[in-house]
C-alpha cells in the first residue's frame, strides 16, 4: 500500500493480543498483493490488462469494493472515479513526471466510471472501452483498516486502533473515554488545526502533501479531477469522520475533488458523516454537526 500500518490493542493477555496483531498485518499484506496496481501479479493488474478485451473473473471482495466505488461515483456525479487511473498512471511523483497535453487528452476519453461493467452473477468485470484503467488507492486502505478491525473483534478485542496512512478506525474507546485524534496542519508537519473525539468510528484524511512535486509554482499531487485528469486545486486537506474506514476513505477523496461548497453540502445531507476541509487559502470549513460539537464543548476545533 506504500504506507505505514499501525495497530494498537488494549488487552489483558499479551500473547492473544500479539497473535491478533500479526493476523491483521498478514491481512494487510494479502490485500496489498491483490489490489496493488504496481504488482504485475495482482488481480488488479490483471483487470487493467485484460478487462478491456474480455470479462475478468474477480473475487467477491473486489466485487464489493468496486461496487462501493461505483456507488460513490454516482453519488458524487463522478468526482470519485476509480478510472481516474487512466490518467493517474501517467504521473510519477517521485520522478516528477506528468503527462503531456496530448497524453491527457487521450486519457480523458477513458476516464468514466460508466465504462466499468460489473456482473455480480458471473462475478466478472469488463471495460466497455480499451485503455481504461482503475486504481483503488482512494478506497482500498479504508477497506483494509475495516478488515483489520473485523479480525481484532473476532479475536475478542474490544479496544483497538488500526490505521493505514491517513485512514484510521477505532474499536471501542480508551477506558471509557474517546480517542482524541488530531487533524494536522497541512503547512506545518507537527502542528494540529483540530482535535476530535473518536470512539467506535473511523477517520480519514486526504492531503495534497502526501504524494506530490512542485513545478512552475504549481503543486502536482495525487488526487485528480476526473474531468481534466489533472490534480485538484483549491483544497489542501480533507478529514472525514464516519461509521467505517471504507466510507471515510472514499469520502475524503471525494470531498477533496468536490471542494468546499459542494462537498460540505453533500456531507450535511448525509447522516453519520462529518468533515473538515482546509482550502488553498488556509481557511478551515466544518460540516454542521462538527460546529455543534465545538460549541457544546465536546470537541475542539480552532
Nearer to Mg ion, 236 or 252 (CB): 252
Binders in 27-66 for ligand ADP, by CB under 6 A: none
Give yes or no for residue 201 binding Mg ion (CB under 5 A).
no
Give yes or no for residue 229 binding ligand ADP (CB under 6 A).
no
Give yes or no for residue 137 binding ligand ADP (CB under 6 A).
yes
Q: Which does 210 bind (CB under 5 to 8 A by kind): ligand ADP, Mg ion, none?
A: ligand ADP
- Please give the helix or strand (H or E) that residue 55 lies within, else none: none
Q: Which does 82 bind (CB under 5 to 8 A by kind): ligand ADP, Mg ion, none?
A: ligand ADP
Question: For residue 259, what is its C-alpha cell?
Answer: 471542494
Q: Least Å distance between CB 199 and ligand ADP?
A: 22
Nearer to Mg ion, 21 or 72 (CB): 72
Q: Which stretch binds Mg ion (CB under 5 A): 30-38, 126-134, 228-236, 248-256?
A: 248-256
d(CA 219, CA 50): 33
Give yes or no for residue 249 binding Mg ion (CB under 5 A).
yes
Give yes or no for residue 80 binding ligand ADP (CB under 6 A).
yes
Question: For residue 253, what is its C-alpha cell?
Answer: 477523496
Q: DSSP secondary structure string, 108-156? A: HTT--GGGEEEETTTTEEEESSTT-----TTTHHHHHHHHHHHHHHHTT
Question: For residue 194, what is its C-alpha cell?
Answer: 483540530
Give yes or no for residue 221 binding ligand ADP (CB under 6 A).
no
Q: Which does 148 bind (CB under 5 to 8 A by kind): ligand ADP, Mg ion, none?
A: none
Return the residue of 20, 44, 183, 223 that touches ligand ADP, per CB under 6 A: 223
Return the residue of 166, 186, 242, 259 that touches ligand ADP, per CB under 6 A: 166
Q: Which does 141 bind (CB under 5 to 8 A by kind): ligand ADP, Mg ion, none?
A: ligand ADP
Return the residue of 32, 112, 201, 249 that touches ligand ADP, per CB under 6 A: 249
Q: Which residues bind Mg ion (CB under 5 A)?
A: 138, 206, 249, 252-253
Q: Which residues bind ligand ADP (CB under 6 A)?
A: 80-82, 84, 135, 137-138, 141, 165-167, 206, 210, 222-224, 226, 249, 252-253, 257
Amino acid at each position: 500500500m506504500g504506507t505505514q500500518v499501525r495497530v494498537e490493542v488494549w488487552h489483558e493477555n499479551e500473547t492473544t493480543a500479539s497473535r491478533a496483531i500479526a493476523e491483521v498485518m498478514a491481512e494487510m499484506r494479502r490485500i496489498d498483493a491483490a489490489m496493488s496496481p504496481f504488482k504485475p501479479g495482482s488481480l488488479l493488474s490483471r483487470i487493467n490488462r485484460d478487462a478491456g478485451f474480455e470479462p475478468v473473473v474477480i473475487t467477491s471482495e473486489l466485487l464489493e469494493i468496486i461496487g462501493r466505488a461505483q456507488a460513490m461515483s454516482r453519488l458524487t456525479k463522478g468526482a470519485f472515479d476509480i478510472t481516474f487511473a487512466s490518467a493517474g498512471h501517467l504521473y510519477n511523483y517521485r520522478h516528477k513526471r506528468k503527462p503531456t497535453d496530448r497524453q491527457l487528452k487521450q486519457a480523458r476519453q477513458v476516464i468514466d466510471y460508466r465504462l466499468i461493467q460489473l456482473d455480480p452473477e458471473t462475478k466478472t468485470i469488463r471495460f466497455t472501452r480499451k485503455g481504461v484503467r482503475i486504481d483503488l488507492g482512494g478506497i482500498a486502505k479504508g477497506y483494509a483498516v475495516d478488515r483489520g478491525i473485523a479480525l481484532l473483534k473476532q479475536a475478542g478485542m474490544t479496544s483497538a486502533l488500526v490505521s493505514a496512512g491517513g485512514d484510521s478506525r477505532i474499536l471501542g474507546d480508551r477506558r471509557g473515554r474517546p480517542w482524541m485524534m488530531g487533524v494536522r496542519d497541512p503547512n506545518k508537519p507537527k502542528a494540529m488545526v483540530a482535535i476530535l473525539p473518536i470512539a467506535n468510528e473511523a477517520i480519514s484524511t486526504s492531503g495534497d502533501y502526501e504524494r506530490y512535486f512542485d513545478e512552475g509554482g504549481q503543486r502536482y499531487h495525487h488526487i485528480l479531477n476526473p474531468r481534466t485528469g489533472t490534480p485538484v486545486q483549491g483544497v489542501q486537506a480533507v478529514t472525514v469522520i464516519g461509521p467505517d474506514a471504507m466510507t471515510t476513505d472514499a469520502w475524503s477523496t471525494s470531498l477533496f475533488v468536490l471542494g468546499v461548497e459542494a462537498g460540505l453540502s453533500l456531507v450535511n445531507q448525509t447522516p453519520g458523516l462529518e468533515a473538515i476541509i482546509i482550502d488553498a487559502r488556509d481557511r478551515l470549513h466544518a460540516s454542521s454537526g462538527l460546529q455543534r460539537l465545538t460549541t457544546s464543548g465536546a470537541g475542539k476545533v480552532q
